[in-house]
Amino acid sequence: MMKSKRHLKILEIVNSKIIETQEELAEELKRAGFDVTQATVSRDIKELRLVKIPIGDNHYRYGVPTATINLHNQERMKTMFRDSVVKLDYSENIIVVKTLPGTAQAVASTIDGANDPHIIGTVAGDDTILVVVKPIQALLSVFNKFTALTQRRG
């Protein structure tokens, strides 16, 4: 669970800031409340398949290779739903996603990252997410997709 949160935070950091070194990434994670070592950050970078992207003047930043973004987001979304979502319900054009305490924002981030054209946006609290769907006719399709993501294999 903590690893998923840390991975989401790393992706948020590298997508919003220029991070050139593992040390910079470790510092950002520590500022965000994660107790990490250099070895942990190195492993996370490898697991997330982050790459060095040239930004000019012989400088590089960490980033996500674009070809793997969608596949990675889908896998992350499956993992987040299976590990964190405890209940799904809907009314009109809103899906209510109940999660374990403290995980709603991370799950909402994966929903937003999926770039589903039927999802206008999400609002997340501590353990509840409101997902706004448009058009209303797409609600059951999105709801069924979410339900499938919560299914455990095996």
Domain boundaries, the chain: 2-64, 78-150
pLDDT tens for the 154 residues of the chain, in order: 688 889 989 999 998 899 999 999 999 999 999 999 999 999 999 988 898 888 888 888 898 876 455 555 677 888 889 999 999 999 999 999 999 999 999 899 889 888 888 999 999 999 999 999 999 999 999 999 999 999 876 5
CA atoms in the 13 A half-sphere facing the CB of 3: 9
Which CATH number applies to 2-64?
1.10.10.10
Q: What is the pLDDT of residue 4?
A: 86
Output Rg (C-alpha) for the chain, integer angstroms. Answer: 17
* CA gap 107, 127 in Å, rounded: 10
CATH topology of domain 78-150: Gyrase A; domain 2 (3.30.1360)
The confidence score (pLDDT) of residue 143 equals: 97
pLDDT in the model for residue 94: 98
Q: Please state the three-class secondary structure of 70-131 as a single string.
A: HHHHHHHHHHHHHHHEEEEEEECCEEEEEECCCCHHHHHHHHHHCCCCCEEEEEECCCEEEE
pLDDT for 72 equals 58
Looking at residue 153, its pLDDT comes to 62
> Is residue 19 a contact partner of residue 62, using CB atoms and an 8 Å limit?
yes
Q: CA distances (Å), 78 to each of 24, 61, 143, 148, 150, in order?
A: 29, 28, 14, 9, 7
What pTM does this model have? 0.56
Token output for 41:
């950050």
What is the reported pLDDT for 113? 82
Cis peptide before 65 (omega within 30 of 0): no
Query: Angle of helix 38-47 relative to helix 22-31, nearest 10 degrees?
Result: 100
**Per-residue model confidence (pLDDT) at position 71:** 55
